[in-house]
Structure 1
Amino acid sequence: MQEDGKARFAFGEIMVHQLSSFLRQTLPRVPDWIVFDYAAYWAPRVAAEFGVPCAHLSIFNAAVLSFIGPSASLMGCEGVRATPEQFMELPEWVPFESTMFYKPYEARELFKPCVLPDASGVSETYRFGRTLEDCQLIAVRSCPEFETDWLHLLGKLHKRPVIPVGFFPPSPPESETDAESESRWRSILQWLAKQKPESVVYVAFGSEVKLTSSQVHEIALGLERSQLPFVWALRAPADSHGGPAALPEGFEERTQGRGLVCLGWVPQARLLAHPSMGGFLTHAGWSSIIEGLALGLPVVLMPLLFDQGLNARNLVERKISVEVPRNEEDGSFTGEGIATTLRLVMVEEQGQPLRAKAKEYREVFGDEKLHDRHVWEFLKYLIEHRRQQA
């Protein structure tokens, strides 16, 4: 992590020079705005030298950004959180009740890489606070139809315009025309075509974090014990040194015909949109949640890092989803817990309200016209408040 801090500092210095050089070349007619995502905390400082305003386009939703807190707290001033335990409760600046906070194992895993200073002398939270403090506008991948209260709170915390830009839901997948791609996925699509409507669970945990071999083992046991049809997009575990995942002995033979394990990249949007898909076991990344709910799929959540735990609490609180049971001290889970949760969401009578709620939220998450309108409103704001050129 110390090496990462040194590399990030060096990268930031390079980017300061690059952005400054670019803006100098555009003189006398510099850009009207600079829009940037995540923690490019160096961008507003450079832009200000040329009189260019900056808009931060957040990859997090408004609820997560509000929990993260105001800039002063992030930069070590008023309201600063100095222990992991302070992330296990609702912060003082949230004026309404919510269960959206970290579990003990999540808070401890988050604290060192994000809150403690690295080799550059500052922390990841400081960089993010600097980003939010120095930009003139915060754009959020969300919409008031989903989280009005959180968007309103976010504006109060940062005392600057907060504009929702919609969810950017995935467009309906086009048919594959490339012969190699079609050949590669034909057998999977043929298998899906034989399954009952809304009967298959899709399993994927993103690309940012790799599971351990023991976690892969428990997920496999859970899928086997669930007795549900499944498609599992499986990546090599973190401790496999690039080798294939070690599935339980006999797993593929015992699940043959009922489940598919796909190694490497898969056309996720296309698979999720298939009529046979009935649920999504995911890491609770915001993009994956949007993909699932845009199609009306109930999501089973197993968060792994960063904002994912907060996303999971948010959806559970809204009764849209459920989490896989975890040991709150070490984050461990069991195959039995996965199997029970999957069956609850996919087939059991008790899970019917969750399935109905997911279809209800499809009207918000999957409404392309609604989200296009939010994008246009964002662009309209940028045009109306653009820099006045000399």
Structure 2
Amino acid sequence: MGSKFHAFMYPTFAFGHMIPYLHLANKLAEKGHTITFLLPKKAHKRLEPLNLFPDRIVFHPLTLPPVNGLPVGAETLSDVPSESGKLIGQAMNLLRDQIEAKVRALKPDLIFFDFIFWVPEMAKEFGFKSVSYHIISAACISMFLAPGAELGLPTPDYPLSKVALRGHDANVCSLYGKNYQEFFGRVTTGLKNCDIISIRTCIELEGEFCGFIQKHCQKKVLLTGPMLPEPQDRNGKTLEDRWTHWLNGFEQGSVVFCAFGSQFTLEKDQFQELCLGMELTGLPFLVAVMPPRGSSTIQEALPEGFEERVKGLGIVWGGWVEQPLILSHPSIGCFVNHCGFGSMWESLLSDCQIVFIPQLADQVLITRLLTEELQVSVKVQREDSGWFSKENLSDTVKSVMDKESEIGNLVKRNHKKFKETLASPGLLSGYADTFVQALENEVNNTKSS
């Protein structure tokens, strides 16, 4: 076994990034390593219950500096509209002095980062290794390295080029602001200047993309697998009684569960179209989304008469839910989600039919891979407006829930086969163990040189 190391973690200040980083921190701590986790102050309370090794994983809060346009008190991407996400990135770019002070005091061996391009430069200055660890898909990272791919332009060596963004899907790059090409450049700088590239994926899903990244960056790409928490990581937690009782009232595999994560907020008309589309399926459903923009609660934004019409059949919930536990309930038969990389892995490892409504660039790419190449899922088609109609949503859900549906049976067979591959004994845990061993070797080699 290699000697123990001390790692810093500096993920993007979004819960969709910080939570997977914390899962990785738990794996490192389980092997006896120490982690200093850099995060905004308000995130501490939400992440603390997920820290399984508080004696080895220490949260260090950072104070975001003021940035023009960033609301006072905003610290994560969930605190701002998606089009203002770049302001959080700008604030994170200004934290170098705070982080360097902590580096001088604690002298880490490694630092993990994703989008802050100057981290490798800082690590070299202080004599330790930088790990560009990405929790988004290798398909999206490949797009950063393939000039023009984000615009759907020809890129001969880009793997599976037909999954590149095209048409109105290119608009999903709006998360990065109008200067998204500058953002791509910063990510690429971090990838090419770091010591180690690592991605939360596996060869079985994205092998060609991983090879593409390795070729373009001229360095080995280490994979962690999906790095999802093990069931025992939930400390024996069971699904809340309210959801267990409600779901128990429906037949096995009959309920549609829909969730878009905490980072994406719908417009009111989009939210209402989503609700009406679920109603139109005629199937029992549970929708867990944030209240739409301009609404303080879910109830005030619901379509007129909706609650009365779906009473006993459907629920729209504006609070947090334990997604993995809901997916494991036998009544859930379909999972409608945004194809965020965490939800995507949970989809693949579930027994549910998978329906994607991607919102952001990496989600669009991985949706194309899963629907067009692997054929384990289906995608809701959008209108020219960029959103989808209630009819499109309803028809798509029913196409996979109908037991006589050809497409439904096709994706079910393919999904079952792919899940069996991922769930084969030792596959995913082997990725994590191999990754930790590689880091230990890297640190040992550095110390002995």
TM-score > 0.5, shorter chain as reference: yes
Name the stretch that deviates more: 335-344 or 261-270: 261-270
CA gap 1:241/1:34 in 2 versus in 1, 3 angstroms: same
Distance between the aligned counterparts of 2:216 and 2:68, measured in 1?
31
Cα offset for 1:9? 4.0
CA gap 1:355/1:89 in 2 versus in 1, 3 angstroms: farther
**How big is each residue's C-alpha offset from its partner over 1:278-319, in whole Å with a ceiling of 9 and x where there is no partner?**
110001111101111111322101111231111211111111
Partner of 1:384: 441
CA gap 1:101/1:114 in 2 versus in 1, 3 angstroms: farther
Cα offset for 1:372? 1.5
What SS is found at the alignment partner of 1:239? coil
Cα offset for 1:356? 1.9
Partner of 2:259: 204
Distance between the aligned counterparts of 2:357 and 2:261, measured in 1?
11
Partner of 1:76: none
Q: Say if 2:411 is the partner of 1:354.
A: yes
Structure 1 contact 115–124 (Cα < 8 Å) conserved: no
Identity among equivalent pairs (%)? 30
What SS is found at the alignment partner of 1:281? strand
CA gap 1:187/1:7 in 2 versus in 1, 3 angstroms: closer
**How big is each residue's C-alpha offset from its partner over 1:73-104, in whole Å with a ceiling of 9 and x where there is no partner?**
xxxxxx4x4xxx9622453331x544212243
CA gap 1:193/1:357 in 2 versus in 1, 3 angstroms: same
AA matched with 1:264: G
**Aligned pair count?**
361
What SS is found at the alignment partner of 1:201? strand
Partner of 1:22: 102
Q: Say if 2:171 is the partner of 1:108.
A: yes
CA gap 1:148/1:7 in 2 versus in 1, 3 angstroms: closer
Structure 2 contact 137–362 (Cα < 8 Å) conserved: no
Cα offset for 1:46? 0.9
Q: Say if 2:337 is the partner of 1:261.
A: no
AA matched with 2:324: A
Q: 1:324 aligns with which of 355, 380, 397?
A: 380
Distance between the aligned counterparts of 1:239 and 1:52, measured in 2?
46
What SS is found at the alignment partner of 1:238? coil
Q: Per chain length, whose mean CA-contact separation is higher, i.e. which structure has more relative contact order (CA < 8 Å, sep 6+)?
A: 1
Q: 1:187 aligns with which of 232, 242, 253?
A: 242
Distance between the aligned counterparts of 2:199 and 2:425, measured in 1?
17
Structure 1 contact 139–163 (Cα < 8 Å) conserved: yes
What SS is found at the alignment partner of 1:139? strand
Partner of 1:312: 367
Distance between the aligned counterparts of 2:375 and 2:121, measured in 1?
42
Q: 1:375 aligns with which of 432, 435, 438?
A: 432
* 5+ residue gaps, structure 2: 1-66, 71-85
What SS is found at the alignment partner of 1:54? strand
Q: Say if 2:109 is the partner of 1:32.
A: yes
CA gap 1:65/1:9 in 2 versus in 1, 3 angstroms: closer
Structure 2 contact 130–196 (Cα < 8 Å) conserved: yes
Distance between the aligned counterparts of 2:421 and 2:97, measured in 1?
42
Name the stretch that deviates more: 374-383 or 97-106: 97-106
AA matched with 1:262: W
Partner of 1:46: 122
TM, length-normalised to structure 1? 0.84
Cα offset for 1:114? 4.6
Partner of 1:135: 194
